[in-house]
Amino acid sequence: MRRIVLRLGLVLLATPQAHAEAPLSPRDYQRLLGVGVDVDWAKTPRAMRYYSREQARAFKEIGFDHVRIRVREAATPELLDHLERVVGDALALGLTPVVAYKAERFKEDPSPQNRDRAVAWWRAVAGRFRGYPPELSFDLIIEVTDRLNREPGKLLDLYRRTLAGVRKTNPTRIVFVSPRLRSAPEYLHELDALFERDPYLMAEWHFYASGPSKHNPKKKWTTGTPEEKRRILDKIALACEWQRATGGSTWVGAWMPGNYNKGDDYAVSEQVAFATFTSCALRAAGIPFAVNQANKFYDEAAGRWREAMLPVVEAVVRPRCP
């Protein structure tokens, strides 16, 4: 009988729910995040099919500190089982996991019905991960876009309702909220009221999430002219100023070294130049970040790195800063 009790105790100690670890403050979590990568390991059928712990291990070994695990589908038992597997692998490997939800319906139509669906999704996810180590965090919306860009009141309403649901099962877990207009740092101040009541809240913002452009003046990057560099530094300065004014902590949830989704016409050397400057600028500001996206660097079907893209990965995780 004594041996059975001992074995049961060892099993309980090995489960995430058994840990009663001290919560992490936003400032501590900001320092913990370091350099990360956006992954689709729980988002697309293809990525879910090819996912393995070895793939996660490859990202850890090459130098990434966290993974932003993007999710799109309904919170079915099957999806939650798979998500729990991915999160568990990340924790076991020393990768800090951030679960991020697309909330697609609500962004396209921020109706009460779609709001309630998004809130229910997070209640289900939060319930499944109740008691998990504090290294796991929740990112409520991957990117604020579509009609939601023009509905700041509805965005805040979603955040308040979702936070109320999440806090019932995860009272001290780090949760990220994003501003509107593609999570632009210019609108961080619209989130201020949320931070007055929740000491475990952080802000996620991003820029160049779909990469730079050789033509769009809002995100132009050619040879790294002073004006092009200033555009990046100005965005970072907005986030730093918000942090100073509020005492809040931020994280860049996505930026992309090349325009992979539209044109993909930057040479690797050009991507390295952009990635080096952006990585160094964010590091100098003390703001952690996730680069978008994993499958551009790693061939998930073949289970190996894309050799041609390794210089870009190196510029992200180990940039040669001046």
DSSP string, 101-169: E--HHHHH---HHHHHHHHHHHHHHHHHTTT--TT-EEES-S---GGGGG-HHHHHHHHHHHHHHHHTT
Q: Mapping DSSP to helix (H, G, I), strand (E, B) and coil, where does residue 172 land?
A: coil
- Specify the higher pLDDT residue, 63 or 14: 63
Is it true that the peptide bond before 243 is cis, omega within 30 degrees of 0?
Answer: no
Q: Check residue 257 and report its DSSP letter.
A: S
8 Å CB contact between 143 and 182 = yes
pLDDT tens-digit readout, 210-235: 999 999 999 999 999 999 999 999 99
Whether the per-residue pLDDT at 314 is higher than 90: the answer is yes
Tell whether domain 23-317 is in CATH 3.65.10.10: no
| Rounded Cα–Cα distance for residues 123 and 106 (Å) | 16
Check residue 12 and give its pLDDT.
Answer: 40
Domain map of the chain by residue range?
A: 23-317
Band of residue 21 on the pLDDT scale cut at 50, 70, 90: confident
pLDDT tens-digit readout, 136-161: 999 999 999 999 999 999 999 999 99
Whether the per-residue pLDDT at 11 is higher than 70: the answer is no
User: Of how many residues is the chain composed?
Assistant: 322
What angle (nearest 5°) sits at the alpha carbon of residue 85, between those of residues 134 and 207?
A: 65
- pTM beyond 0.85, yes or no: yes
Backbone angles phi, psi at 214, to 5 degrees: -85, -5
